[in-house]
Structure 1
């Protein structure tokens, strides 16, 4: 179920045309979930996500230029804000959806390479506290990335709205309450 801030931002993005006829992706950091909508506002899917291990809504200046081993624990935030998604490749050649290229924040398939991190298990739990593990990237279930997110970004583009944890989403985006229900498939 989508939280009230997710519903408000998705409705507002479609109603105001802030998405510019691209898809709308809303990342709810407080609830560790992502919601993907087509350009018409129809929900395409929702899934749990893994997020930056540090609570916060800002990007530490220069963090995108650091090697991972130099990124301090308090610098591992998933930044809040409005981002125009772009398909691309990371340093390992893996296709990713760039959220903030300069800060090296992307949406990508979950990587379960380090067994002690239990990333797949973390995605499967009902709790939110254990979804904080990444260096700031948004990790998605493989099938969701390959079947929902990536095809949308490739075909229509997308605007990613990462909801803040420390302030109001409406205030961050300048969103307003949509006067009427935008339809049966709205979040």
Structure 2
């Protein structure tokens, strides 16, 4: 059952703020190998439905719940960015895993967004609440990651968090976004990760 909308969608408790070990490992490897190219970066953890925002040197700047693609999976359907939203089936609504060079942009409604994958039409943007039936604010406030699966693949962020953390770091200049896979190992997507045997 979804929680009622509250301030919980805008800020999470310190107990939830802590970086999970696997997220921190990716952040340390990205900076240690200079894969982030000296740019600010974000890690989207699909399993926990969270985004972690880092400065260029790897200092954690903020953590927030996010909404993600309805369907589980780590890859976008080929050509999906060229199709109308009404033509995208529920099982095709995935948030792709991988390393993305983000770029600031604007959508068709004139809103500022951060592109992850322009060709697949995947971006990070403020949560939209125009469809009340989707209960997106309630989903953001839910402690259950499965409640956060609703989008067509974009990463939806609370508006206050977007304005405070995403826009300053990624809204005016390039950055790097790492989206952790949920079905495969991080090493399959991030070659800078150390081998498990080392």
TM-score by length of 1: 0.91
Deviation of 1:177 after TM superposition, in Å, equals 4.7
Counterpart in 2 of 1:175? 192
Q: Secondary structure at the match of 2:144?
A: coil
1:55 corresponding residue in structure 2: 72
Counterpart of 1:185 in structure 2 is none
Which deviates more from structure 2 when the two are superposed, residues 42-51 or residues 146-155? 146-155
CA-based RMSD of the aligned residues comes to 1.4
Question: Which one of the candidate residues 11, 17, 21 is aligned to 2:38?
Answer: 21
**Once the 2 structures are TM-superposed, how far is the Cα of residue 153 of structure 1 from its aligned partner?**
1.3
Deviations 1:6-43 (A, max 9, x none): 11111100111100010010000011000000001111
Q: 2:118 aligns with which of 80, 87, 101?
A: 101
Q: Structure 2-normalised TM-score?
A: 0.86
Using the TM superposition, give the Cα deviation of residue 155 of structure 1 relative to its aligned residue in structure 2, in angstroms. Answer: 5.3
Higher relative contact order (CA 8 A, sep 6+): 1
Q: What runs of 5+ residues in structure 2 fail to find an aligned partner?
A: 1-17
For residues 4 and 30 of structure 1, what CA distance do their matches in structure 2 show?
13
Mean Cα displacement is larger for which, 87-96 or 29-38? Answer: 87-96
Separation in 2, partners of 1:90, 1:72: 22
Which moves more between the two structures, 126-135 or 164-173? 164-173
Match of 1:152 among 150, 161, 169: 169
Matched, 1:141 2:195: no
